[in-house]
Chain A
Amino acid sequence: GQQLNQSPQSMFIQEGEDVSMNCTSSSIFNTWLWYKQDPGEGPVLLIALYKAGELTSNGRLTAQFGITRKDSFLNISASIPSDVGIYFCAGPLQGGSEKLVFGKGTKLTVNP
């Protein structure tokens, strides 16, 4: 089935550093979604991408829809302590399903 592979699994960075993470699949996705989850809470949608090559920003976050439609990237610039959390990529399955499939997440730790 369609699976999403996220890397790295975890990152430890200093406040102020930029962060990059990615998500790959063996299958084509027509939509890529990036979520952030804080401990004990549900995921919150950060950015949605709908077109191959699309680059979309949300404040200090920038995400790109890969040209092959099999990958997506999320960058965070000038990280701050509240960026701590787990970042998930997700996408809807092909064939009209309403189901979203999620990656296993990238856990981000920011040291002040």
Chain B
Amino acid sequence: DTGVSQDPRHKITKRGQNVTFRCDPISEHNRLYWYRQTLGQGPEFLTYFQNEAQLEKSRLLSDRFSAERPKGSFSTLEIQRTEQGDSAMYLCASSLYSIYGYTFGSGTRLTVV
């Protein structure tokens, strides 16, 4: 495994449903990040883990959003009671140190109908 893996690549869901995304980072990276990207915008920070500890959360991460990294390896991002405004690309990234840049996964494209 040489990259960050995200699953699923695409998800279409009805408004009000819950969705969960998975991210498998590069194995030696202890830092894991979730970003959201909407059309015409750059990625926006959602949350950050160092090992299993969630150390930063954005105000963008409403109460309907929760992220976990239970054993300091893979991470999940859950959105409860999805809204149309949640439609976006959800990007996961990992790194050793942020100043060296992240390695991003290919993202999960969420469409809420």
User: Could you list which residues of chain A lie within 8 angstroms of chain B, going by C-beta atoms?
Assistant: 4, 30-31, 33, 35, 40-45, 48, 50, 88, 90, 92, 97-105
Q: CB within 8 A of B40: which of A4, A35, A104? A: A104
In the assembled complex, the CB of B7 is this many whole angstroms from the nearest CB of chain A, namely 13
Q: Is the CB of B42 within 8 A of A102?
A: yes
Q: CB within 8 A of A100: which of B102, B103, B106, B109? A: B102
Chain B, residues 22-53, CB within 8 Å of chain A (1/0): the string is 00000000010100000011111100101000
Q: Is the CB of A98 within 8 A of B43?
A: no
Chain A residues contacting B106 (CB-CB under 8 Å) are: 40-42
In the assembled complex, the CB of A20 is this many whole angstroms from the nearest CB of chain B, namely 19
Q: CB within 8 A of B101: which of A4, A40, A48? A: A48
Chain B residues contacting A33 (CB-CB under 8 Å) are: 101
Q: Is the CB of B45 within 8 A of A101?
A: yes
Give the total number of A-B pairs whose CB atoms are below 8 A apart: 67
Would you list 10 pairs from A and B whose C-beta atoms are within 8 A, ordered by A residue?
A30-B99, A35-B104, A42-B104, A48-B100, A88-B42, A98-B50, A99-B45, A100-B45, A100-B101, A104-B42
Q: Is the CB of B98 within 8 A of A98?
A: yes
In the assembled complex, the CB of A33 is this many whole angstroms from the nearest CB of chain B, namely 5
A92 with B48: in contact, given A41-B107, A99-B56, A104-B41 (CB under 8 Å)? no
Chain A residues contacting B45 (CB-CB under 8 Å) are: 99-101
Chain B residues contacting A43 (CB-CB under 8 Å) are: 43, 91, 104
In the assembled complex, the CB of B76 is this many whole angstroms from the nearest CB of chain A, namely 18
Closest A residue to B44 by CB, please name it.
A102
Chain A residues contacting B44 (CB-CB under 8 Å) are: 102
Q: Is the CB of A99 within 8 A of B42?
A: no
Q: CB within 8 A of B99: which of A40, A42, A92, A101? A: A92
Chain B residues contacting A98 (CB-CB under 8 Å) are: 31, 33, 48, 50, 55-56, 98
Q: Is the CB of A50 within 8 A of B43?
A: no
- Distance A98 CA – B58 CA, assembled complex (angstroms): 12
